[in-house]
């Protein structure tokens, strides 16, 4: 960036270098579990790569290893394009670098240049996320997103804090009982940092409640509301988001020790909520035992703290990817089931449907 002091070339802190044999050098990108292998004729490249600690300039390195600056720059461009070189370059370019260093370095492995990394980070910090439902998942998701540097959260819930919430809902205390959840959670986020601004909306979700946000730019909607059922709230949010073309995530649903790992929908890019509903209805018709299993809902027992924070962390991770604008989310076209007892996760894939009333070719929200 203009005016900013560029850092000397440096390997990304999350990359390890392994000499596989005399002719193969491997870079392992730890965050994304990816290997990049290059053919080498001798140990020169290994020596140069291990010297990329940010202390030497390109011309110093070229002199030390008797290589032209042009050749060295070619090697560095190759490494930079694959996220092997540290694309942070000058941390002054990144707003609140020290506070959000780990998020920025996560994004770095997906970046192909300093400018690209900066763009992803700026998109996250300038984004607005609507969280519907401030219960066991919604509270943890809000905390996750504030810690990840999301710029603005809209917290939507009309409910008040009850003593039965305290064992699983993040941020609520005994002294908060009877207060609006949106007020309490907004205070907690403010206590954590001024970085994230919060808009509070004291409404329960129904089929038309989201229209109050029609004029507001929203980058992502997360459904953490389960009343009357997760299926209902997901369809209400799904239809609103499809109409506006907003990415959305189903936060989860519960059945005793099982939790749903809900799907991510990017309108026009994958199966929408209606596609899932249609396929699930067909499956339920085919397999009557599954109908019984899915229809058993014991709301009285509530969800379980460790299970909710697990699911919320997955949602938080998915949200960061979506908000970056350039990292593929993981849960498009699938949903999973997490068993807190066995710790098993099972995913099932679902496809976009041509006959979908929402996203199919004749659907009312069709887009590509
Ligand atoms: Zn669809």
Cβ atoms < 10 Å from Cβ of 183: 15
Average pLDDT of span 49-72:
94
CA 215 to chain centre: 25
Task: Give residue 219 CA to ligand 1 midpoint distance, Å.
Answer: 20
Q: Which residues contact 354 (CB under 8 A, 6 or more apart)?
A: 360, 361
The domains of the chain, with CATH numbers, are 15-91 (3.90.930), 126-349 (3.40.50.720)
Whole-angstrom distance, CA of residue 104 vs CA of residue 97: 8
Q: Closest Cα partner for 202 from 183, 188, 178?
A: 183
Task: Give residue 282 CA to ligand 1 midpoint distance, Å.
Answer: 15
Task: Give residue 233 CA to ligand 1 midpoint distance, Å.
Answer: 16
CA 216 to chain centre: 21
Task: Give residue 296 CA to ligand 1 midpoint distance, Å.
Answer: 26
The pLDDT of residue 210 is above 80: yes
Task: Give residue 124 CA to ligand 1 midpoint distance, Å.
Answer: 27
Average pLDDT of span 338-349:
93
Whole-angstrom distance, CA of residue 170 vs CA of residue 130: 17
Whole-angstrom distance, CA of residue 45 vs CA of residue 263: 44
Give the pLDDT confidence score for residue 1 in this predicted structure. Answer: 41
User: Encoding tokens for residue 30?
Assistant: 């730890």
Strands 128-132, 152-156: pairing kind: parallel
User: Encoding tokens for residue 365?
Assistant: 């929200």
What's the mean pLDDT when you consider all of the chain? 91
Task: Give residue 368 CA to ligand 1 midpoint distance, Å.
Answer: 12
Whole-angstrom distance, CA of residue 39 vs CA of residue 283: 50
Whole-angstrom distance, CA of residue 38 vs CA of residue 89: 24
Whole-angstrom distance, CA of residue 19 vs CA of residue 17: 7
Whole-angstrom distance, CA of residue 189 vs CA of residue 205: 22
Give the pLDDT confidence of 218-269 residue by residue, as tens digits: 999 999 998 888 899 999 999 999 999 999 999 977 777 888 999 999 999 9
The pLDDT of residue 213 is above 50: yes
The pLDDT of residue 288 is above 90: no
Cβ atoms < 10 Å from Cβ of 74: 11
Banded pLDDT at 88 (limits 50, 70, 90): confident
Task: Give residue 275 CA to ligand 1 midpoint distance, Å.
Answer: 4
For residue 50, the SS3 value is: helix
Give the pLDDT confidence of 9-48 residue by residue, as tens digits: 999 888 999 999 999 999 998 878 889 999 999 999 999 9
Task: Give residue 321 CA to ligand 1 midpoint distance, Å.
Answer: 22
Give the pLDDT confidence score for residue 293 in this predicted structure. Answer: 55
Banded pLDDT at 187 (limits 50, 70, 90): very high
Task: Give residue 225 CA to ligand 1 midpoint distance, Å.
Answer: 21
For residue 124, the SS3 value is: helix
Task: Give residue 265 CA to ligand 1 midpoint distance, Å.
Answer: 10
Q: Which residues contact 101 (CB under 8 A, 6 or more apart)?
A: none
Task: Give residue 331 CA to ligand 1 midpoint distance, Å.
Answer: 15
Residue 7 is classified by DSSP as P
Task: Give residue 307 CA to ligand 1 midpoint distance, Å.
Answer: 29
């Amino acid at each position: 960036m203009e005016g900013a002091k560029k850092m000397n070339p440096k390997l990304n802190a999350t990359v390890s270098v392994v000499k596989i044999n005399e002719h193969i050098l491997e870079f392992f990108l730890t965050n994304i579990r990816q290997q990049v292998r290059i053919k080498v004729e001798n140990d020169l490249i290994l020596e140069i790569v291990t010297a990329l600690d940010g202390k030497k300039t390109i011309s110093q390195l070229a002199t030390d290893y008797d290589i032209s600056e042009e050749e060295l720059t070619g090697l560095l461009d190759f490494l930079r394009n694959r996220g092997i070189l540290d694309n942070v370059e000058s941390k002054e370019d990144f707003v609140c670098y020290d506070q959000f260093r780990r998020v920025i370095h996560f994004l770095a492995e997906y970046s192909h240049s300093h400018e690209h990394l900066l763009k992803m980070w700026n998109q996250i910090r300038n984004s607005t996320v609507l969280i519907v439902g401030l219960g066991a998942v919604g509270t943890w998701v809000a905390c996750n997103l504030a810690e990840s540097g999301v710029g603005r959260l809209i917290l939507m819930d009309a409910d008040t804090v009850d003593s039965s919430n305290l064992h699983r809902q993040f941020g609520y205390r005994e002294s908060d009982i009877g207060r609006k959840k949106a007020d309490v959670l907004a205070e907690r986020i403010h206590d954590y940092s001024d970085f994230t601004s919060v808009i509070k909306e004291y409404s329960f979700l129904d089929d038309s409640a989201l229209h109050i946000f029609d004029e507001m730019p929203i980058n992502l909607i997360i459904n953490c509301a389960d009343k009357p059922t997760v299926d209902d709230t997901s369809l209400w949010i799904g239809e609103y988001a499809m109409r506006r073309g907003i990415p959305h995530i189903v936060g989860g649903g519960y059945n005793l020790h099982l939790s749903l790992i809900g799907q991510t929908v990017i309108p026009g890019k994958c199966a929408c909520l209606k596609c899932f509903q249609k396929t699930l209805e067909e499956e339920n018709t085919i397999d009557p035992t599954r109908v019984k299993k899915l229809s058993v809902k014991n709301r009285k027992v509530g969800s379980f703290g460790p299970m909710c924070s697990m699911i919320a962390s997955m949602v938080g991770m998915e949200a960061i990817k979506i908000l970056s604008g350039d990292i593929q989310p993981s849960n498009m076209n699938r949903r999973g089931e997490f068993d807190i007892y066995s710790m098993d996760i099972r995913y099932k894939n679902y496809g976009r449907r041509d006959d979908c009333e929402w996203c199919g070719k004749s659907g009312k929200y069709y887009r590509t």
